[in-house]
Chains A and B, each alone.
Chain A
Amino acid sequence: MFDLTGKCALVTGASGGIGAEIARVLHTAGATVGLSGTRIQPLEALAADLGERAHVLSCNLSNPEEVEGLVKRAVEAMGAVDILVNNAGITRDGLIMRMSDEDWQSVIDVNLTATFRLCRAAVRGMMKARWGRIVNISSVVGTTGNPGQVNYAASKAGMVGLSKSLAAEVASRGITVNCVAPGFIETAMTDKLNEQQRAAILGAVPAGRMGTPQEIAAAVLYLASQEAGYVTGATLHVNGGMAMG
């Protein structure tokens, strides 16, 4: 089950904790992977670790020209983009009254607009191939909201609306578009939380623990697989029960 031999997957934000694990799991399932991110060193370390079938594709997602060129470069490196995982994301937290236009716009640009541009570029080849898988990494806060994150939550909810609309547009061509919405996951980002913040978060999670990058990657692998061909426009929540539905 979930054999991706012969498929080529482009993963953005592959230098981060969740993105790296997604790339690793897709690679283990047999896919060729394109590792995109801004920090070259961790990408090259990951590629070296994976060995064959791994390509480093540096890209700054806040630069429209670089985003436009990324899918093309991925196709040149791998031969195709059969699977696109829009995982890259940034935060610029702050209460709305203190949030600058720049903090709003940069989060929307990287999380939502880059996702739109990469989907638009990738869907062309997928339509020709009559097969494709797009998995957009949203967030639990896109559903629940979170004080201090109007920009981030809006971008993540936006990805869900984008995914549902695109799913309807391309379903007849064998292309599925879904979201995975992680809750609190053990990464460098959540390592920074203090004890009090951790306790507050865990109090809201019925499972009583944070999730792992592996648990997010497993959800992505499923949605990227042949077996998930009838699942489209869905959001798979992976959050230990902290928000359901």
Chain B
Amino acid sequence: MSDIADRVKKIVVEHLGVEEDKVTESASFIDDLGADSLDTVELVMAFEEEFGIEIPDDAAETIQTFGDAVKFISEAA
């Protein structure tokens, strides 16, 4: 697994308090990992801080799964 994926996973695990093995490529933050709308905003802000990038609102809306997040950040970072 790439360095970016590891760092994203760490944030997700810490923030949502879920088991690491639940955070799979296709795991949806809201449907599978129990996030609410505020959690998704917090996750996006945490990604922005960790990777020093800006994630605009329309892009943030497309980040539904762990895989989406890793893909977006890999392309942006």
Contacts and interface: CB of A to CB of B under 8 A. Distances in A.
Interface string A157-174: 000000000000110110
Interface string A196-238: 0000000000000000000000000000000000000000000
B38 A124 contact: no
B45 interface: yes
B36 interface: yes
B30 to A, nearest CB: 14
Nearest to B42: A127
Contacts of A127: 38, 42
Nearest to A127: B42
A170 B38 contact: yes
A34 B45 CA distance: 26
B45 A124 contact: yes
Q: Give the bracket for the number of chain A residues in contact with chain B.
A: under 10
Interface residues of B, number: 4
Interface in B1-48: 36, 38, 42, 45
A172 B45 CA distance: 18
A173 B45 contact: no
B36 A172 contact: yes
Interface in A91-137: 124, 127
B38 A169 contact: yes
Contacts of B38: 127, 169-170, 172-173
A173 B42 CA distance: 11
A124 B38 CA distance: 11
Nearest to A170: B38
Nearest to A173: B38
B41 to A, nearest CB: 9
Contacts of A173: 38
Contacts of B36: 172
B34 to A, nearest CB: 13
Nearest to B36: A172
Nearest to A169: B38
B36 to A, nearest CB: 7
A124 B49 CA distance: 12
Which are the 3 A-B pairs with shortest beta-carbon distances? Answer: A127-B42, A172-B38, A173-B38
Interface of B: 36, 38, 42, 45
